[in-house]
Amino acid sequence: MASTAFGRTLAAAMLAATLGLLPAQGRAGTGCGNEPLAPRKLADAAQTALIVADALDRRDAPLALVARVGSDLSAQGLVYSHVGFVVRDHPAGRWTAVHLLNECGSDRSNLYSQGLVNFFADDLVNQDARIVWLEPELAQRLAERLRALPSGALHQPHYNLIARPGSADYQNSTAWVLETLGAALTQAQAPSRNAAFAAAQRDGFRADRVHIPYSKRVLGGLFSANVAFTDHPISTRLGGDYPVVTVRSIVEYLDRSGHVQAQSEWRNGRAMRTPGAL
């Protein structure tokens, strides 16, 4: 029984590689070491990649958003921790995830174009996934912008896990996604980060808030290279309610503004009839 199950998951990984969902290069932006991914985790990621790729293929869309659970944010009432764009017929492959990743827990980040297996192989909490398809015109503008990277990347490499929305000095993964969405809304050829964020705000974006008590921040050891509380004003740091861009705030804003065409979600390997909480 066990060998049969392993055979199925290994076959999924091999099929994913054949379909171009797993690029030849190793995982990027996922950690400092070069430890190989455990076969079972690779197989699980491949299975999720196949499910997501099949759902993407069933719709005639050039681009969608794909969310994953990289960190457990349940204490903040959140489910998904990370989101990226997935682009059809990208120069790097049939379905390519384009997203911002923190470099090795440092204060730096970079933009990556990865196959779907790599996207779901980043030492995740689980293999839950959510796809958000956007209205066709916006999706097309975004796809063209992302295929042209690094031109107009809107990338600030100074990373902050709790970056203040609209911060000129820092950026994180979700902030980059939001600003890229805003840039597509402006229809300007080369908007600044500030202009892109302002466009998203005018269109209805509202930041989420996460609560980090001052006592926990000071006494709880919440200091690392990729967290900069000083990006926020003193009043916020004392109060402990930090405005941030989350997967939830992005998707709810897009839905509220009429930009969402459809959504699909998988939890515990099963398709959900109705997408759940974000």
User: pLDDT grade, residue 6 (50/70/90)?
Assistant: very low
Place of tokens 């600003």: 179
Residue 44 vs residues 18, 22, 116: alpha-carbon distances, Å? 16, 13, 12
SS3 at position 261: strand
User: pLDDT grade, residue 33 (50/70/90)?
Assistant: low
Please tell me the distance from the alpha carbon of residue 64 to that of residue 88, in angstroms, as a whole number: 9
> Would you give the DSSP letter of residue 251?
H
CATH 3.40.50.2300 applies to domain 2-24+40-271: no
Please tell me the distance from the alpha carbon of residue 194 to that of residue 34, in angstroms, as a whole number: 37
- The confidence score (pLDDT) of residue 218 equals 58
Please tell me the distance from the alpha carbon of residue 273 to that of residue 138, in angstroms, as a whole number: 26
| pLDDT tens by residue, 150-203 | 988 999 999 999 999 999 999 999 999 999 999 999 977 789 999 999 999 999
What are 108's two structure tokens? 């730096």
Mean pLDDT of all residues belonging to the chain: 87
| pLDDT tens by residue, 78-130 | 999 999 999 999 988 889 999 999 998 899 999 999 999 999 998 898 999 99
Residue 148 vs residues 48, 155, 189, 210: alpha-carbon distances, Å? 27, 14, 12, 34
What are 106's two structure tokens? 């440092």
> Who contacts 41 (Cβ-Cβ below 8 Å, separation ≥6)?
121, 123
Strand order of the β-sheet with 93-102 is 109-115, 93-102, 82-90, 63-68, 129-134, 260-267, 270-271
- The confidence score (pLDDT) of residue 92 equals 86
Across 38-47, 79-88, 202-211, 231-240, least confident range = 38-47
Angle of CA points 61, 78, 33, to nearest 5°: 80
Please tell me the distance from the alpha carbon of residue 83 to that of residue 60, in angstroms, as a whole number: 21
- Domain borders along the chain are 2-24+40-271
> Would you give the DSSP letter of residue 122?
S
Report the Cα 108 to chain-centroid distance in Å.
16
Angle of CA points 267, 114, 130, to nearest 5°: 20
Element (H, E) at 233: none
- Say if residues 169 and 156 touch (Cβ distance below 8 Å): yes
Entry field: residues in the chain: 278
Residue 249 vs residues 81, 123, 257: alpha-carbon distances, Å? 11, 24, 12
